[in-house]
Amino acid sequence: MKSLYKKNIILLLLAVIIIITPLIIKRDSEFEGADGQAEGLIQEINPEYEPWFEPLWEPPSGEIESLLFSLQVAIGAGIIGYTFGVLKERRKIVANR
Is residue 62 within a helix (H) or strand (E), and if so which, with residue range? helix 62-95
CB atoms inside a 10 Å sphere around CB 50: 6
Percent composition of the chain: helix, strand, coil (DSSP 3-state, to 5): 70, 0, 30
Single pTM value for the model: 0.53
Q: Terminus-to-terminus CA distance in the chain, angstroms? A: 24
- Dump pLDDT digits (tens) for 24-68: 888 777 767 777 788 888 989 998 988 888 888 888 888 888 899
Q: Is 97 helix (H, G, I), strand (E, B) or coil?
A: coil
